[in-house]
Structures are given as C-alpha cells and as structure tokens.
Amino acid sequence: MTNDLQSWGRFPLATRQTPRALSWQTDAIPASGTSLLPYGQGRSYGDSCLNENGTLITTHSLDRLLDFDAATGVVRCEAGTTLETLLKLTVPRGWFLPVTPGTKFVSVGGAIANDVHGKNHHRAGTFGRYVRRFELLRSDGSRKVCSPEENPDWYEATIGGLGLTGLILWADVQMRPIHNPFVITETVPMADLEDFFRISRESEQDYELTVAWVDSLALGRRLGRGLFFRGNFAPPRFDGLPLVKSHLSHGSALAVPFNLPGISLNWLSVAVFNWFFYRANLLRRGPRLQHYDPFFYPLDKVHRWNRVYGRKGFFQFQCVVPFSTAREALREIMERSARDVPSPLTVLKTFGDTPSPGWMSFPRPGVTLALDFANRGERTMKLVAELDHLTRQAGGAVYPAKDAGMSPENFAAYFPQLERFKSYIDPAFSSSFWRRMNP
C-alpha cells in the first residue's frame, strides 16, 4: 500500500492504495482483488482520481508519441502523454492544443476522462470535441476503438466518464493551427460583477481567449471587482521573434520546497496578495505580446504550488450556473465564501453553447466560478456543502474533477444522463468519488 499518489488538492488523503503500472499497450490490466482506477498525473483536485482500498493503474510509462501528421495537425499519443509533451512536439510545427486547462501537466487520458475546458470554451467547447478516436481496454481483456462513427456510445460515455469505463490506451487528437507561439493579450479592469458581464459580452465577439480574476474580498457594491484577461493568437507578422527561455514554465526551477504553515493563508495575506496582484496588472492594461506559456499556464511556473495551502491540503470549488440565474447566484456564492474562508484565487469565465460529446461533461451554457479554500476541516466542509446547495438552487452544476464535497443527490441532479452512463462503467472499476456519490 502507498499514500504517494494523491490528488492535487491533497484532500481527502488516500492512505491505502496499491499502484500497478501499465507500461505497454499490449499489457493486460493488472490482476487485482480490489477495484481498479486509471491514474495519470493526479491533477484532479478532489477524490475522482483516488481509489482508497483499491488499485491505481498508473500510466506514467504509457507516454509515447505514436504519430503526427504535420499537414492535418492530428497527433496520436498514448494516454499517459502530458499536454506539455504535445506542445513541445507541435508548437514548433505550427500547431497548438485545441483546448487546454490551466495546467499543461495533465495526461491526455485525464483530459479526456474529465473533458477539460479552457479560456476558449465560448468558441471551441471542450477537449473531448477534438478527440477523433481512442482505444479502450476493459478489465475482461476486450478492446474497443471508439469514435463518433465506431462504438459511438462508448465514445460518448468515456469522454467525461471519470476513468470508469475502462483504460484509455491511446488517442488521436486534432490540434489547431497557429502562426507562432505568441498571444496578443489585454488586461481590462472590472469595477464589479455587472462590469464582468458587460466586458464578457463585448470581448467574446473579438477575442478567442477570455478569463477573469476576481478580488474575493471586495464585497458590497464592489463585489466582482477584478481584472479581465483577453487575447488572440498572434498573426504571422510576429513569426520569427526570438524566444526568452525563462518565460517557459517547463524550464522553471521555481518550486515550493515544503508545506507552508496553514495559518499563512488568512484574511490579511489574501488581502495583501489581491492588492498587489490587482495593481501590478493594471500597469499592463494595453495590448501586449506574450508567449503562450505564461498566458495559459501562469501557475505552472511554480512547481508544487499546492504546498502553499499547508499539509492539510485545500478544496477547489468550481460550479457553473445558467445565465438566467448567474447574477444572483454568483453574488450569493461569493459573499457566502468571503464571510467564512477567503479564496486566494477566484476565477470567472463564461461557457458557450457548443455541446460536448460526453454524457457526463461538466461545461454547459452559463458562467463558471472557481474558488480555492485552504482546508480548515469541518468548517470548510460545511462551506463547500452550502455552495453545492446554492449551485443546485440556481440550476447549475459542480465539476466532479474539482470536487470533494458535493452530495450524491446533487450529483444526480447535475448530470441527467447518469443512469445511462452507469451501464457503461467497467464492473471492476471504481473510485473514491464514485463510491461517495453512490453510498
């Protein structure tokens, strides 16, 4: 047994998991007397990547690049390949990820299983839309090649299926063309929540990439005050500019060397950080040229940044609420969280109406809010449960990949195709999250 393989939020801790590596596509799923779950890079925040008292099939060695068509941008890779590896291969050849989350240190298998989204959801939708084919290995030894045309039901169940339908061996991913590795970005100050909606409407017409940072401690009439970041990939006239290696986070040596004291994240430290972050970025209000790495992956520059939250870990709560209820619901959620446990990082983004092929995919039209909370035990669990309740009242949903506190009843309400999905789960597969949702 080992407790080395944890989630990024490091809560809950899994202390009794047995890792079994799968290194080759020809390997059989390791024999086990317990339940099985694929484990890639462990970048899910809650317990969806954990399997307490079970077996984790680790895919770190299943990380080979198998084929790349530089004319069409389709890359075939094994499921343990990270997004960082794909970028190193494709960006110099004029291709970029069609959709990327806020970290590139995730596996392709994990990106499919959680149907990740990014700053361009209002234009591009989710990662699953660009997965052309993949092969699924079941615990009985059967293998299925899945695509919109071949085994389409298994394709739709596996995208966003939390790793429960079997083990993805390889996938074909359609990359998107770019001229160079730069983004033209602009920072726009937001006075309040209504300003966020106004700037979002204006920006989404002309900008492919949008996201907002919110000062979580700005309340009352200032609630929603923050910074709106928007951008587009740079046109050809910026081709050939020299790169500054220090801007690339995969070359960064910065790291948090140990767990910081839990008391270090409090009202005062969050207020000081927010003050400096807001004013520093106000200096960058005009359009500027930026390498893709710090724009898409600012947190990746500091490795093991999750240690900032202390040894007890942290919760990330991410919800989406419909546009029709968003103003009232977001105000209530942000005010409730600010009164209790301050969030050092609060992010707002709109989701578009492009549907995902995955039955269990989280994004849907509306506004998504992400909050981080240092783990203060029962106090934080109570807060997360209340935010889960407020989300359901607003007709929204909570992201399973970030969750450590939603109720089984709300999970069923958030995902109306749940019963259909259950019939595609591999009988030998399970997770701590799945058992929590099905007590």
Task: List the chain domain ranges.
Answer: 65-178, 182-407
Checking if the pLDDT of 244 tops 60, the result is: no
Checking if the pLDDT of 283 tops 90, the result is: no
Query: Using one digit for the tens of pLDDT, what is the confidence trace for 79-88?
Result: 999 999 999 9
**Lowest-confidence range among 16-20, 29-33, 150-154, 400-404?**
29-33
Cα dihedral 251, 21, 148, 418 sign? negative
Instruction: Using pLDDT thresholds of 50, 70 and 90, give the confidence band for residue 389.
Output: very high
CB 381 within 8 A of CB 389: no
Checking if the pLDDT of 371 tops 90, the result is: yes
**Lowest-confidence range among 254-263, 274-283, 346-355, 413-422?**
254-263
Checking if the pLDDT of 1 tops 70, the result is: no
- The whole-number pLDDT of residue 29 equals 93
Checking if the pLDDT of 186 tops 50, the result is: yes
The backbone torsions φ and ψ at residue 66, rounded to the nearest 5 degrees and listed phi first, read -100, -35
**Percentage of residues in the chain having pLDDT higher than 90:** 85
The backbone torsions φ and ψ at residue 198, rounded to the nearest 5 degrees and listed phi first, read -65, -50
Instruction: Using pLDDT thresholds of 50, 70 and 90, give the confidence band for residue 246.
Output: very low
Q: How far is CA 132 from CA 76, 112, 156, 360, 387, in A?
A: 10, 11, 12, 18, 36
β-pair partners for 133: 172
- The whole-number pLDDT of residue 380 equals 95
Architecture in CATH of 182-407? 2-Layer Sandwich (3.30)
Instruction: Using pLDDT thresholds of 50, 70 and 90, give the confidence band for residue 131.
Output: very high
Mean of all residue pLDDT scores within the chain: 94
Q: Quick check: helix, strand or coil at residue 344?
A: coil
| Residues contacting 173, CB < 8 A, separation 6+ | 74, 75, 76, 77, 86, 98, 108, 130, 131, 132
Query: Using one digit for the tens of pLDDT, what is the confidence trace for 139-149?
Result: 999 999 999 99
On whether the pTM is more than 0.85, the answer is yes
- The whole-number pLDDT of residue 238 equals 87
Within 13 A of 114's CA, how many CA atoms are on the CB side? 30
Q: How many Å apart are CA 335 and CA 333, to the nearest integer? A: 6
Q: If you count DSSP H runs as helices and E runs as strands, how many of each does the chain have, helices first?
A: 12, 18
CB 368 within 8 A of CB 122: no
Instruction: Using pLDDT thresholds of 50, 70 and 90, give the confidence band for residue 277.
Output: confident
Checking if the pLDDT of 172 tops 70, the result is: yes
Instruction: Using pLDDT thresholds of 50, 70 and 90, give the confidence band for residue 241.
Output: confident
Q: How many Å apart are CA 197 and CA 203, to the nearest integer? A: 10
CB 22 within 8 A of CB 167: yes
The two tokens of residue 71 are: 């004319």
CATH of segment(s) 65-178: 3.30.465.10
Instruction: Using pLDDT thresholds of 50, 70 and 90, give the confidence band for residue 282.
Output: confident
Checking if the pLDDT of 157 tops 90, the result is: yes
**Lowest-confidence range among 177-186, 221-230, 250-259?**
250-259
**Percentage of residues in the chain having pLDDT higher than 70:** 96
- The whole-number pLDDT of residue 252 equals 66
**Lowest-confidence range among 30-44, 109-123, 245-259, 276-290?**
245-259
Instruction: Using pLDDT thresholds of 50, 70 and 90, give the confidence band for residue 257.
Output: confident
- The whole-number pLDDT of residue 258 equals 75
Peptide bond into 12 cis (omega under 30): yes
- The whole-number pLDDT of residue 253 equals 62
3-state helix vs strand vs coil in the chain, percent to 5 = 35, 25, 45
